[in-house]
Each structure stands twice: as C-alpha cells, then as structure tokens.
Amino acid sequence: MIRRHTRTLMPLAALAIGAAAGTVTFSGTAGAETTDIVRTGASEDGYSSSSRPTYTFGTSDTLVAGRSGSDTMVTYLKFTVPSPGTGVTVKSAQVVLTRESKTLPNALTISKVADTAWTEKALSAKNDPAVGAAVSTAKPKSDAAAVSFDVSSIVKGAGTYTFAVTSRVANSPARFRSAEATTGQPALTLTVTRPAATKPPATKPPTTTPPATKPPTTTPPATKPTTTPPATKPPTTTPPATKPVEATPTPTTPAECKVDAKLVPSCGVLWGAAAGGFSDVPRDEALKTFEQKTGRTSTIYHTYHKGDELFPTKDEIAMSSDPASPRTLMLNWKVGYGTKWANVANGDQDARIDRLSTYIKTNYGTKKFFMVLHHEPENDVNATAGSGMTAKDYAAMFRHTALRMKANGVTNAVFVVAYMNYEKWNNTSWWGDLYPGDDVVDWVGVDTYNNAQPGGFHYGDFNYLMNRTNDKAKFPGWYTWATTKHPGKPIMVAEWGVYDSSATVVGKNKADVYATVLPQLAKMPQIKGLVYFETAKDQNGHDIRMDDTPEALAGFKKIAADPRFNVKL
C-alpha cells in the first residue's frame, strides 16, 4: 500500500513546491503580505473498535468514530507538516474529514494525542494511544459532506501531529473516507502568511544549456543493418508436421459462472459471510471489514431478522446495490417470533407476512434474494403432541409462509431450509418431519461448525464438518442425506465456522482445518453456496473469527482466493 506523504497545495497567491526535499516554499507579489492555503494529507490513519479489540483497520478505506451499542470506535489521524519556510506564520489550521456514508452524529470531538509513534498497521483497541484533552468540537448537519475541526491551538508550524476523533452520541457512528479512499482523504489545512520581503529559495531556473548527455550523431548505431535477411530460414513450401496455428482450434476459456433464476451458479460456488455475529457492530460495517481482511467480496451477505421487523433494511439494500462489490442478500426470518409455529401455519400471523410482502415489493422490487425461514429449527422443537412446536408444525409454518408470500406477489424470494447438523437431533425419530416439501424449498441448507483442537469434541476436517455422524444406522451424515433424499436441490452451507477449544489457542490448528476445505469441497459438487459465520464469541464462548491468529487468517485467505468462487450475479 502506498503511503500518502505528498502535500497538496492550493495557493491563494503563487506557490512553489520543493518536491525533492518534501518542503514547501512560497512566492508572492513584492510589497504585500502573501497568504497561502496548504493542505497536508494524513501520513497514518485508522480506527479502533472496543468490541473487536484485536482488529486493525489501517488498510480500510473508511474511518469510523462514535458509538454503536456497546462498541466504541475511535478514529486516529497523524499528519506530518514540513517546514513552511523562513518567516512564514501559521494563522489557522483545520482538520477536514469527508463523510463516507451514513448520517453524522450531532456532535464530534477532536482531541490531542501525545503518542506519535503509533502506526495504522498495528493500531487496535488493545494498543490504541490515550486520547488527550479535547481541542475542538464540531456540530455538523446529519448530511454534511465534510466536517472541519479547528486545531489552530495545536498546529503552529512544522512537526508531527496526531489526533483522535470521538463521539458520545449513542448508536450514531460517523463514517469518513480514509487516506486509502480514492477521493476525499483526510486533510490538515493550514492558512499561512509571509512578509513580502521573504524571497523564494535559490532554486536555479532551467538553463538553456542542454544536459551533458550527448546529442545523437549522424553515425548509425554500431550494429549496422545488413541487406542479408536474418539467419532464420524462410518457411518452406512443405507444411510442418504440426498443423498451422490458424488451423488449430484456440483453447476456450472456462464459461463464465453465472446464477440462474434460483440463484444457482452454472459453475463454481457462491461465497458469503455473516460477519460480526453476537456483537453491536453494524452488520454492513462488519462485512466490509471481513471482506477487507479476506480479500474477497462476499457475494452472499447473510443477516438475521425476526417478528415484525421489516427488511431488507436501507443498509442491506445499499450493500446489495453496490456496483463495485456485487452481493445478494440472505435474509433469515423467524416469522413465528413471539408465537408458535402452529399458529403461523393456521394463519394467525398472516398480517405480519402480508406486511413484509408489501414492504419487499415496494422497496426491493424483483431483485433475487435468499429467504431462510427460522434457521436451525431443531433447537426449538418440542416433540410433545399439541405443543405447537413439533417438527411437523415447523414444516407447516415454512410451507404456509412461503406459499402466502408467493401469493402476495413476492416473486424474488429464493427459499432455503437451514438445519443445524447436530448428531443428537439428527438421530431423533422426528428429524425427518422438519422438511417442508420440495415445492416450497429451493435450496437445502445447513449450519455446521468444527473444533480445531486435535482430539476435541467435534474435531475434524471439512468432510467431517459436512458429514459427521455417531450412528450411521440412524443418520448417514448430512451431506449424504441431502444428496440422497433431495438430489435435485442445491446445497447451501448457510453457516460454517471453525473454533479452537485448546486451553491455549494454536494458530496452526485452524489453519490445518482450513487447508482441507478446497480439496474436499471439490468432491461435494452439490454444494453451491458457502457462507462463513464470523464472531469473536458465540453462545458457547467460541471464537469463530477467521483471523484470531495470523496463521488462521493466512489459511483462510487461501480459501477465499480460489477462482471457483468467481461467480457473477
């Protein structure tokens, strides 16, 4: 990554830049004081996140400052100001940040940071420098294009200056463009003056004498062209044994992998993620961080909703409408939240279904998306007859919801049933009753996790992740079941992840499991979607981040880089 140490200057009078030495010099009209505006780009910038204490964001094109739930994010900025020249006075200084997206909080504070040794590459909540005294507070409009902070009390001349930007406004973090953005990077703007007597440095003007390099002579180069053709013989009239190139069919490149009306790829596998699980970090922000770290856009963006929530949200729509990062949504809905599956199947929540149907048609048109209805139902089954939460009640709820949404004119939902792949449930007599029916199920999905601790519970490779069983007579393994019972259905690994239950986490453990994914995935052609669930701490305390160690991240990036995930939406 190229550091932005260049100084962009916008003079109100004539201005010259000493580029070789990295200094700034000024020129102006004699007999009058000259005023100039000097803009210096950030040499380092990044932000820290209290809920993701080990994460670094120095390569992100976005800076975040403020609060979201229990997560506090602080933006750090470092500017290196060169000498403005003899006799030059800094009259005022402003730090300017360009809004990247979202609305701005009504108050943002910039504070002095004494530590100037931090680097964006290493900056995280575990080591971020202490925030010092407040310098100034800005109160921008929510849709302001940029925010300016007066730092005239701090910046008086040449030197290295570091600042922190914070906000106490709840659930309204500000997002700004960083030095890695293509436009609108952070800037320190100085207004400077110099006396008219000040002369520009003795930079010599170009002379009329040409450089020492001799002009070309009239004598040709030492290697003289000859009238004799090159030693290579001309082609004979006898064709070579091998057919001419023109007659040889040009090897064709593999067909471009595209999706059909049910979002099934013609080749390859859809790549996706549900990032920032069980945290207060906004899901779109967490996904962008995940993509940045792994090096690939998540074609499937998996989010979760329940009850009367309306979705896709504005943020989700924005994420799936980004032409630079094409994505489709996987929206998980617990339609029966606050009631029972049997009640939904009986029509008690039709108003809820109808309201969402209208919202989707109005706000999302006909763009295709995945709809998962109440993932991992096994954990909520009450097998007692009449409970309203039996396996058959789940299947009836799924059917009723899918059919009513279709009747309401929702034509762009691709329905997914997502199991949880836990042996205890797979072996039950009722597990088979969960399936809603081929006519309402477009994809068969599974949520499944592995332990990377050698010898630990649920330790295994990718094959084990997809096909584990403790009693083949009762259940042959999930992938075997899906491909045998529903051979015409594409398989969605709607959630997968790897954690390490070792007393001391060993980076090699996760990396070893990740290394089995690609070769074993190749032997499971019915898998058409692979969606990683990323969280620092799940309900059982497991760390399922792909980057909890450098070794794990390196192993995961090898998976993400594979061309089989180059599927075009």
Q: CA-CA distance, 345 to 394, in Å (whole number)?
A: 8
In this prediction, residues 510-537 reach a mean pLDDT of 97
pLDDT above 90 covers what percent of the chain?
75
Q: And the tokens for 371?
A: 């709809």
Inside any domain, residue 37: yes
Residues marked as catalytic: 376, 495
Inside any domain, residue 409: yes
- Clarify whether residues 174 and 284 are in a common domain: no
Q: CA-CA distance, 361 to 116, in Å (whole number)?
A: 52
Output DSSP code: residue 251: P
pLDDT band for position 544 (cuts 50, 70, 90): very high
- Clarify whether residues 291 and 151 are in a common domain: no
In this prediction, residues 553-558 reach a mean pLDDT of 97
In this prediction, residues 476-486 reach a mean pLDDT of 97
- Clarify whether residues 115 and 30 are in a common domain: yes
In this prediction, residues 160-178 reach a mean pLDDT of 95
Inside any domain, residue 256: no
User: Is the pLDDT score of 26 beyond 60?
Assistant: no
Do the strands 62-68 and 159-166 form a parallel or antiparallel pair, or are they unpaired? unpaired
- Clarify whether residues 414 and 504 are in a common domain: yes
pLDDT of the residue at 69:
85
What are residue 513's phi and psi, to 5 degrees? -70, -45
Is the separation of the CB atoms in 75 and 165 below 8 Å? yes
Is the separation of the CB atoms in 175 and 63 below 8 Å? yes
Among residues 174, 194, 214, the one where a domain terminates is 194
- Clarify whether residues 415 and 522 are in a common domain: yes
Residue range 204-258, pLDDT digits in tens: 444 444 444 444 444 444 444 444 444 444 444 333 333 333 333 433 345 699 9
Inside any domain, residue 189: yes
pLDDT of the residue at 181:
86
Among residues 176, 194, 212, the one where a domain terminates is 194
pLDDT of the residue at 403:
98
- Clarify whether residues 302 and 181 are in a common domain: no
**Minimum mean pLDDT range among 55-69, 317-331, 375-389, 544-558:** 55-69
- Clarify whether residues 185 and 299 are in a common domain: no
In this prediction, residues 174-185 reach a mean pLDDT of 91
State the CATH number of the domain containing residue 79: 2.60.120
Q: CA-CA distance, 543 to 537, in Å (whole number)?
A: 5
Q: CA-CA distance, 442 to 498, in Å (whole number)?
A: 27
For the chain, how many structural domains are there in total? Answer: 2
Inside any domain, residue 439: yes
- Clarify whether residues 186 and 314 are in a common domain: no
Q: And the tokens for 295?
A: 């090096």
**Minimum mean pLDDT range among 97-106, 371-380, 522-531:** 97-106
Q: CA-CA distance, 175 to 77, in Å (whole number)?
A: 14
What residues form DSSP beta bridges with 10?
37
- Clarify whether residues 333 and 444 are in a common domain: yes
What residues form DSSP beta bridges with 26?
15
User: Is the pLDDT score of 515 beyond 90?
Assistant: yes
State the CATH number of the domain containing residue 395: 3.20.20.80
What residues form DSSP beta bridges with 161?
79
Inside any domain, residue 217: no
To which H or E segment does residue 46 belong? strand 44-49
In this prediction, residues 113-119 reach a mean pLDDT of 96
pLDDT of the residue at 346:
98
Total length of the chain: 569
User: Is the pLDDT score of 390 beyond 70?
Assistant: yes
Inside any domain, residue 552: yes
Among residues 194, 221, 245, the one where a domain terminates is 194
Of residues 463 and 6, the one with the higher pLDDT is 463
Task: For the chain, give the mean pLDDT.
Answer: 86
Inside any domain, residue 369: yes
- Clarify whether residues 156 and 298 are in a common domain: no
- Clarify whether residues 334 and 476 are in a common domain: yes
- Clarify whether residues 276 and 168 are in a common domain: no
The range of the structural domain enclosing residue 422 comes to 270-565
Full-model pTM? 0.70
User: Is the pLDDT score of 34 beyond 90?
Assistant: no
In this prediction, residues 72-94 reach a mean pLDDT of 91
